[in-house]
């Protein structure tokens, strides 16, 4: 129900979509009773919603229509879903904050006088532990190195360039940022954009078109899905993070060629993510790169959640998994997660980047990234590389890795079903039942812990979850408090689907009794 991040399968190919949906269910073994009660809950909500809509039509028939011949602008299943399901629990989403998204932040309280249809902000704020923001390295708050330089850039330039890159929107900071990003990633060149989502959705239609083939992971982000749809290329889906199925799809498509004509594909591109944002899983990049090399397919890697957050020096999954960046043709990432800023980038060969600067609409027609935001990225990269004269960058990277692995391990010991891999700062806790989504969110907030909950259509119907994002800014005391609250709420809501591991003290006591 996180309407900001709608996840769907890439363009319509019914057999591939069904296979993708099937593999998701196979990956996560859902208890039979849980699946049954989840389906029943959604069925009940749907039935009561349809009943209310039926009576609504009757009452509307008697009242004078205000449309005057126009068709309803909001109509269909999306409107039904928002009115009858989402609005019931919309207080769990879009919560306004009144401070920087640090380890702790101020959450503004809201009230509703019409059964959650509208929410009104109050003047009361609650200081909450932040487990929802993508502030992986803690740069989103004031920083001793970054903040003074950002303020200075604001004085020298302005909050906005008020122009596109090809007109008057390229400053010395933009040129420095692109050089900095290319050097950081070990690529020849880079181009930056003002929005991360647009980076994917605008680049793919430029690179791929009719006669081209995009092979996309079944759980790729919506920006990739929309970019692929807008490209006009043929799109096929492979089972999430499964190299063997990718190779099977590649072989079939190369053998068959283009639809109807069966001519060879003009080019083939495989699109994957470094860390999958709703699953917290690391991409099996070495195997995927090897398969793409074998079949002469280009590799497009989205590192929105991995760049800066993983790897010895924060250079992402390529560094973590030992993949040479020269083997990845197109590297995409965003600055909104690890760097405390905004925007996105594409890094690749000099020829590729020059081509994108001539043809990409996001570069030609969109306002360039804000100069202070550009300075924030440059400064944070310098901190990571130790160019600020300190070891804070290395400490942050060690801290995010330590915090992530500790938190994941403790949640699993408590009996929660936690998705994802070690070293990933994203850890989804499975909720399943729609009634447990608002219950978990509200109970955590009562105890001053702010979490993000996600459900259909952002995830498959049965796989609602709470997505925890860990930061290097979190202290061990913060994490212990969060674990205590989540454990208490987990018992209250009933989402500990596995038996908890006995604590060491309890084991030692049992041994003493036995002796």
pLDDT for res 69: 74
- Token pair recorded at residue 351: 């020829």
Q: Crossing angle, helix 222-231 and helix 196-207, to 10 degrees? A: 30
pLDDT for res 14: 35
Cα(98)–Cα(286) distance, integer angstroms: 43
131 closest CA partner among 509, 481, 513: 481
Cα(223)–Cα(496) distance, integer angstroms: 33
Domains observed in the chain: 6-40+86-137+397-512 (3.90.1150.10), 146-385 (3.40.640.10)
Cα(457)–Cα(164) distance, integer angstroms: 34
pLDDT for res 15: 36
Residues of the chain below pLDDT 50: 1-26, 507, 510-514
pLDDT for res 53: 84
Torsion of CA 15, 233, 316, 28, to 10 degrees: -10
pLDDT for res 17: 38
pTM above 0.85, yes or no: yes
DSSP string of 434-471, one letter each residue: TTHHHHHHHHHHHTTEE-EEE-TTSS-TT-EEEEEE--
Cα(369)–Cα(410) distance, integer angstroms: 40
306 three-state secondary structure? coil
Residue 178: count of CB within 10 angstroms of its CB: 20
Cα(285)–Cα(282) distance, integer angstroms: 8
pLDDT for res 2: 37
How many Å separate Cα 157 from the centre of its chain? 31
Residue 251: count of CB within 10 angstroms of its CB: 13
pLDDT for res 168: 92
407 closest CA partner among 423, 395, 391: 423
Sequence length of the chain is 515
């Amino acid at each position: 129900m996180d309407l900001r991040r709608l996840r769907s399968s890439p363009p319509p190919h019914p057999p591939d979509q069904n296979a993708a949906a099937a593999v998701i269910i196979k990956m996560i073994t859902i208890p039979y009773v849980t699946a049954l009660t989840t389906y029943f809950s959604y069925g009940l909500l749907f039935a009561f919603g349809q009943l209310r809509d039926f009576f609504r039509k009757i009452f509307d028939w008697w009242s004078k229509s205000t449309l005057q011949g126009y068709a309803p602008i909001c109509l269909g299943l999306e409107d039904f879903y928002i009115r009858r399901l989402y609005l019931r629990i919309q207080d769990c989403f879009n919560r306004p904050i009144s401070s920087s998204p640090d380890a702790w932040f101020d959450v503004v309280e809201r009230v509703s006088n019409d059964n959650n249809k509208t929410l009104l902000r109050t003047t009361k704020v609650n200081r909450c532990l932040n487990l929802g923001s993508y502030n992986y390295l803690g740069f989103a708050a004031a920083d001793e190195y970054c903040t003074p330089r950002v303020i200075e850039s604001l004085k020298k330039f302005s909050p906005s360039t008020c122009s596109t890159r090809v007109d008057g929107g390229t400053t010395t900071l933009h040129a420095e940022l692109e050089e900095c990003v290319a050097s950081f990633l070990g690529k020849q060149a880079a181009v930056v954009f003002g929005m991360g989502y647009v980076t994917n959705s605008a680049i793919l239609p430029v690179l791929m078109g009719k006669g081209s083939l995009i092979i996309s992971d079944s759980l790729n982000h919506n920006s990739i899905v929309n970019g692929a749809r807008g490209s006009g290329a043929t799109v096929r889906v492979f089972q999430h993070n499964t190299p063997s199925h990718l190779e099977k799809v590649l072989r079939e498509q190369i053998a068959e060629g283009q639809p109807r004509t069966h001519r060879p594909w003009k080019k083939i591109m495989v699109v994957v993510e470094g860390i999958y944002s709703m699953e917290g899983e690391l991409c099996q990049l070495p195997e995927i790169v090897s398969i793409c090399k074998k079949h002469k397919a280009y590799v497009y890697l989205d590192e929105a959640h991995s760049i800066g957050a993983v790897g010895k020096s924060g250079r992402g999954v390529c560094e973590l998994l030992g993949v040479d960046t020269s083997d990845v043709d197109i590297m995409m990432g965003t600055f909104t997660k690890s760097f405390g800023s905004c925007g996105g980038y594409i890094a690749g060969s000099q020829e590729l980047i020059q081509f994108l600067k001539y043809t990409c609409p996001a570069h030609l027609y969109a306002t360039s990234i804000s100069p202070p935001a550009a300075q924030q990225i440059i400064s944070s990269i310098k901190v990571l590389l130790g160019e600020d004269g300190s070891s804070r960058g290395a400490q942050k990277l060690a801290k995010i890795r330590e915090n992530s692995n500790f938190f994941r391990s403790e949640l699993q010991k408590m009996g929660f079903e936690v998705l994802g891999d070690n070293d990933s700062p994203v850890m989804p806790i499975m909720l399943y039942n729609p009634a447990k989504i608002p219950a978990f969110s509200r109970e955590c907030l009562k105890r001053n812990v702010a979490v993000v909950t996600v459900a259909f259509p952002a995830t498959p119907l049965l796989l609602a979850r709470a997505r925890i994002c860990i930061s290097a800014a979190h202290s061990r005391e913060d994490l212990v408090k969060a674990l205590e609250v989540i454990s208490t709420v987990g018992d209250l809501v009933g989402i500990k689907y596995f038996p908890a591991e006995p604590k060491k003290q309890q084991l030692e006591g049992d041994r003493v009794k036995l002796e």
